[in-house]
Amino acid sequence: MLDTAPAVRRPPGRRPSGRGRPRRRPRFGPYLLIAPTVVVIAVLMFWPMIQIGIMSFQKVGNRQLRGEPAEQVGTQNFDTILKDPLFWAAFRHTVLFAVVAVSLTMVIGTLVGLLLNKLGKRMSSFVSGGVMVAWATPPVTAAIIFSWLFGSTGGLVNWTLDKLPDALVGGGWNDYNWFATPLSTYTVLTVCVVWQACPFVAVSVLAGLKSVPSELYEAARVDGSGPWRTFWSLTYPMLKPIFLVVLVMSIIWDFKVFTQLFIMSGMANRDAFNLSLYGYSEAFGALNPKLGMGSAIAAVLTLILLVVTALYVRVMVRQGETR
């Protein structure tokens, strides 16, 4: 009898396995394209970070800058800064400022982005361009502007507060020094940083809102959903990746704020130091620079930011796995 069983057909597009199967050659084209960028990043970022890590375990001063070999001190620099009350005061200022500034930046920037999304095309483009002026302003320029606005001699803010009724804001604002205490200094710094950072959040939120289908909002309105519920049930879940990216970037930026605080407060007011200004003062501010101490402070700040970045990457990976 003839075998009438149907022949097994091989799925299309699949080749038989065996020794005759051609091997794929490695493609080096993509690696060659990104090689110049990797080299530039390695020279400008990785190598200085390695040098900071090495100097944090050394005693580096004027003698070492003149050519003498650096003295290995182990973890002495870290022990010194961790026992210094000024380090913990600067750490507290850095964390509290970052919490307040990042929170205000996210809230105000999101509200501005929602407002821009409600405007017409021309008005939205016009307002977005005006808002981005603050983002494009260099930190040095912004610090000088706010130092003048809150200055004790001829400052616009003091002049305005002095003209208001004393029963409303109190008196004595004409010669009030906003940069005499840490609280008032960081109040001005927060206003300056939030003013500069809000446009980036607003434009990011606006770009994310443009990608959300309008049918979803129409369905939410038909279901009777209000603005608050629509935001938390529809807008926030759709824009959560954008919010995470902007949040982490804002934390990194606000943790290492230096230029604005340096111009506003200077080196004399040590009570208002944050970690960046504290590290600069130890490395370059004294007659005998302590580059090893400054490197240790910079290493601690870098470690904190790396932890924040690692948490962000972990959250993003989990989100990718759940989709």
DSSP string, 215-282: HHHHHHHHTT--HHHHIIIIIHHHTHHHHHHHHHHHHHHHHT--HHHHHHHTTT-GGG--HHHHHHII
For the chain, the straight-line distance linking the first and the last C-alpha, in angstroms and rounded, comes to: 55
Among the residue ranges 64-73, 141-150, 298-307, the one predicted with the least confidence is 64-73
**What does the pLDDT look like over 1-27, one tens digit per residue?**
445 555 555 555 555 555 555 666 667
So what's the pLDDT on residue 22? Answer: 60
Model pLDDT for residues 94-121, shown as the tens digit of each residue: 999 999 999 999 999 999 999 888 888 8
Say what the pLDDT of residue 37 is: 87
Q: Please give the Cα distance from 178 to 146 (Å, whole number).
A: 11
Evaluate if residue 170 carries a pLDDT over 70.
yes
pLDDT for res 216:
83
Greatest CA separation found in the chain?
114
Range from 10-19, 276-285, 308-317 that averages highest in pLDDT? 276-285
Which region holds residue 170: left if phi is over 0, alpha if psi is between -120 and 50, else beta? left
Average pLDDT over residues 190-212: 91
Q: Which stretches within the chain are classed as H helix?
A: 29-41, 47-55, 62-65, 76-82, 85-118, 121-136, 139-149, 156-163, 166-169, 182-210, 214-222, 227-230, 236-238, 240-255, 259-265, 275-280, 291-322
Q: Among residues of the chain, what percentage have pLDDT more than 70? A: 90
